[in-house]
Amino acid sequence: MLKLLKPWQRLMGAILLLLTHPTFASSLWVDAWSASPTDGAALYSLPPGSVFRETISPNLGGNTMRLHLSNRYGMSSIKLAKVSIGIKSVGASNQPNSTKLLKFNGSDAVIIPAGGEVISDPLSFTIKQFTPLNISFMAASWIMSPTEHSLATEIPYFSMTANAESDSGVGFIPQKTLAGQMSWLLIERLEVSNTMAGYNVMAVGDSISDGASNMLCQLVINPDLNCLSIGQNARYTDFLARRLANAGYTNIGVVNGAISGNQIGQDAPWLSLQSGKSLLNRLDADVLKHNGVSKVILLEGINDLQIASTPNPNKVIQDLTTVINRLHAANIKVILGTLTPTQGTPNVPLAILSLVLHYGSDAVNTARQQVNAWIRSQSIADGVVDFDYCLKNPQKPSQLLPAYDSGDHLHLSVLGRQAMAQCVNLNLLTAP
């Protein structure tokens, strides 16, 4: 005999069906932190039993988390014995009793296939907005050239004696000998599941959004950590996330999808693999496949102009248009940023570099102004942030305001990144 369901039972069944629908289920997860993979880290090889501990700072909170680990640029599979998460205390140490092991299909160990990624099982773990976390992994076998994000503005730690699940920082050695060694290894993004988490704004771009500083700070053997703003969470995206939170929008996160040296239309040359695949080639993996991304702040193109033998603003405009159309096709709104000033009088080392990159040349500046004129007048994007206007020196408009210049006339000081965040009209981010 057919049994009729009561109205409340039909309602609960409909809710259950909705919650288990793949589209809805995936939307429950939102990025709290992300870093786009750039290349295989040639400076790193990790022996079996070693533990690597690295710090991230989530810009969104939640009560359940899962971690994405990437081997996108690996030549062979990576075997990890353990992976853990803990609330950072000082350096490599975690707050007492905060470190928890992550599971992968119920197991501590996991194999990340070459060219692939893995996602940890959901873990009940309170992620607090802006509270730093330490992610640790123990190598089960030799790890050679692991996939990295090449510009981590945090000091990682290495140990041959510590346990991945330990709160203690004893036995960990800070990896800060070379600026180029301060990378995020394997971790691509941390997601939270929380009905209070609304959506993400993702900053997509190059070194200006990635938080790079004076290039000389990044090339020396003993880097100036203050110059690099290591451990300060001082990208413009960090300041923007705090602006939103202070304005009461704690359910809107800001995550970073930028890569230093990145170009829109060209993959990184072999001498500079850390600059990653072109934005056109990485857009699917680094933006469209991420959960919860509702809006993108797009600031890119200066490297396309600088590296080209002849700066071509029309090509940059064409490529920006393609990116906008692809994002719109995925129902993601796009806020275009004008390209920031690059001219100045470089010192001798930077003058040598400028011969290779057309760094700050009149030709690049003219092309930059043409791109900016188009950005200000176009109507295909959903908004514009005039970073150029906010950061330029009014007396010398082709240059950064001195207080905003990190010293190489291209990258921003911490004050400059704060000014970038202040330049963004929050209504562009909070409006439906």
210, 144: one domain: no
Segment holding 48, helix H or strand E: none
- Asked, for residue 32, whether it belongs to a domain, the answer is no
The verdict on residue 151 lying in a domain is: yes
- Structure tokens of 329? 């096709």
Amino acid at 50: S
> Tens digits of per-residue pLDDT, 254-264?
999 999 999 99
Given this model, what pLDDT does residue 15 score? 40
Dump pLDDT digits (tens) for 58-107: 999 999 999 999 999 999 999 999 999 999 999 999 999 999 999 999 99
Give yes or no: residues 226 and 303 share one domain: yes
Same domain, 217 and 130: no
Q: Please, which residues have CB within 8 angstroms of residue 270's CB and are 6 or more apart in sequence? A: none
Domain match, 171 and 250 both = no
> Residue 227's domain spans which residues?
198-430
Residue finishing a domain among 188, 220, 244: 188
37-61, pLDDT tens digit by residue? 999 988 788 999 999 999 999 999 9
pLDDT in tens, 361-379: 899 999 999 999 999 999 9
pLDDT at 270: 65
The reply to whether 119 and 246 lie within a common domain is no
The arithmetic mean of pLDDT across residues 198-224, rounded, is 81
- Indicate whether 128 and 162 sit together in one domain: yes
CA-nearest of 146, 30, 155, 40 to 91 is 155
Question: Mean pLDDT lowest for which of 159-173, 192-206, 243-257, 328-342?
Answer: 192-206
Mean pLDDT of 168-191: 85
Q: Does the model's pTM come out above 0.85?
A: yes
Residue 348 has pLDDT above 50, yes or no: no
17 confidence band (pLDDT: 50, 70, 90): very low
* The pLDDT of residue 14 is above 50: no
276 and 359 share a domain?
Answer: yes
Pick from 344, 320, 326: which is nearest to 286 by CA? 326
The domain spanning residue 362 has which CATH number?
Answer: 3.40.50.1110
Looking at the DSSP assignment, which residues form a beta bridge with residue 333? Answer: 295
Decide if 148 is inside a domain. Answer: yes
Sign of CA dihedral 207, 208, 209, 212: positive
d(CA 279, CA 281): 5
- Report the sign of the C-alpha dihedral through residues 95, 128, 239, 281, in that order: positive
For residues 162, 64, 34, 409, the Cα torsion angle rounded to the nearest 10 degrees is -90
Kindly state whether residues 245 and 152 are assigned to the same domain: no
Residue 267 lies in a domain: yes
In terms of domains, do 289 and 346 share one?
yes
Determine, yes or no, domain membership for 6.
no
Burial of 51 (0-12, 13-18, 19+ CB in 10 A): buried
The reply to whether 173 and 230 lie within a common domain is no
Does residue 223 share a domain with residue 177?
no
Contact 156, 53 (CB under 8 A): yes
Task: Say whether both 202 and 144 belong to one domain.
Answer: no
Q: How confident is the model at residue 225 (pLDDT cuts 50, 70, 90)?
A: low
The reported pLDDT for the residue numbered 153 is: 84
Answer yes or no: is 306 within a domain.
Answer: yes
* pLDDT(227) > 80: no
Where does a domain end: 146, 170, 188?
188
Q: Is residue 320 part of a domain?
A: yes
Q: What is the pLDDT of residue 425?
A: 98
Among candidate residues 160, 188, 216, the one where a domain is terminated: 188
**What pLDDT does 39 receive?**
93
Structural domains in the chain (count): 2
pLDDT tens, position by position, 101-157: 999 999 999 999 999 999 999 999 999 999 999 999 999 999 999 999 998 888 899
The answer, yes or no, to whether residue 30 has pLDDT greater than 90, is: yes
